[in-house]
């Protein structure tokens, strides 16, 4: 079997502040180490359950260059760097049997939740068919487009609840209880890793009980952007138009893969400063 492990940083045990997740901040190296260690725990669990599994790890935080390659379990393949196809889920294809989301965070507006956001601070909300989806929902649906279930998620308690709302039969590991945007009660990192390894075994062995989360097209998508000038840029994309309100754009996607790619493009456009 093939398993894709997508690893973000905000939902890693012990991490609560941007100083631990941003490359230009003082505690980032510590965050990288914690992130890599939790990825290794999940890899170990997958291979304990399925010793012959092909395991891919997609570095899915910020610059996509956070996992320490020399410290990652040598039995896994690492996907790193950007831009790249499918963003946080690079490595996903029709041969992938299961996806695991490690160190994930709740959507923008969710909470209390540690470092909650959706793709970037420029995105206030993404709605597909009227349903608000954060990074968890967008990636679960993208996996579902390939017919692949998301069988495991780790993060704070709010992130775990977000997945359970979409995929009730998935395994979740709450490595911390959110107290706010930059505060939590966290498990000791070693305790978190032990629980992650056990959960990965459970998720792999029980994967047949988890159905893919599928959103069939055509799909009506709305994206709320932080700044009005971001709306000006977004409407330069063919098919994207202004919606009601000064911060919202809308488009129709033929399927979820198209919706996902357009959202990724809007995130990049929103990073352009007016000038």
pLDDT in tens, 253-262: 999 999 999 9
| Pairing label, strands 2-7, 98-104 | parallel
| Whole-structure pTM value | 0.97
pLDDT in tens, 218-231: 999 999 999 889 99
The helix/strand/coil state of 184 is strand
Return the pLDDT at 71: 98
> Token pair of 35, please?
């992130």
> Token pair of 110, please?
């969710």
- Decide if pLDDT at 36 tops 80: yes
First to last CA, the chain: 50
Return the pLDDT at 179: 98
pLDDT in tens, 150-171: 999 999 999 999 999 999 999 9
Q: How confident is the model at residue 274 (pLDDT cuts 50, 70, 90)?
A: confident
117 is catalytic: yes
Write b or e for each residue in 142-169: b if 16 or more Cβ atoms lie within 10 A of its Cβ, otherwise e.
Answer: bbbbbebbbbbbbbbbbbbbbbeebbee
Return the pLDDT at 244: 84
CA dist., res. 55 & res. 265, Å (int): 28
Burial of 121 (0-12, 13-18, 19+ CB in 10 A): exposed
Neighbours of 190 (CB within 10 A): 11
- Decide if pLDDT at 200 tops 90: yes
Chain centroid to CA 103: 8
- Decide if pLDDT at 35 tops 90: yes
Q: What is the mean pLDDT of residues 52-64?
A: 97
pLDDT in tens, 12-24: 999 999 999 999 9
**Which is the catalytic residue, given 61, 105, 117, 145?**
117
Phi/psi region, residue 152 (left: phi>0; alpha: psi -120 to 50; beta: rest), is beta
DSSP state of 16: -
């Amino acid at each position: 079997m093939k398993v894709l492990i997508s690893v973000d940083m905000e939902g890693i045990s012990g991490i609560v502040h941007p100083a631990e997740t941003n490359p230009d901040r003082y505690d980032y190296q510590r965050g990288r180490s914690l992130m890599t260690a939790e990825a290794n725990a999940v890899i170990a669990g997958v291979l304990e359950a399925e010793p012959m599994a092909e395991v891919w790890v997609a570095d899915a935080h910020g610059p996509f260059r956070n996992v320490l390659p020399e410290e990652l379990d040598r039995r896994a393949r690492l996907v790193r760097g950007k831009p790249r196809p499918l963003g946080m889920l690079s490595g996903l294809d029709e041969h992938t049997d299961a996806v695991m989301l490690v160190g994930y965070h709740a959507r923008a507006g969710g909470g209390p939740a540690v470092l909650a956001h959706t793709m970037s601070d420029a995105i206030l909300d993404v709605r597909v068919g009227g349903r608000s989806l954060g990074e968890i929902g967008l990636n679960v649906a993208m996996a579902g487009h390939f017919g692949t279930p998301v069988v495991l998620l780790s993060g704070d308690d709010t992130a775990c609840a977000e997945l359970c709302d979409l995929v009730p039969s998935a395994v979740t590991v709450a490595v911390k209880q959110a107290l706010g945007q930059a505060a939590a009660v966290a498990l000791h990192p070693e305790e978190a890793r032990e629980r992650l390894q056990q959960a990965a075994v459970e998720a792999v062995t029980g994967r047949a009980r988890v159905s893919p989360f599928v959103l069939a097209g055509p799909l009506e998508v709305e994206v709320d952007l932080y700044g009005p000038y971001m709306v000006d840029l977004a409407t330069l994309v063919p098919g994207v138009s202004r919606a009601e309100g000064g911060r919202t754009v809308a488009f129709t996607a033929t399927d979820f893969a198209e919706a996902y790619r357009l959202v990724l493009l809007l995130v990049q456009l929103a990073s352009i400063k007016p000038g």
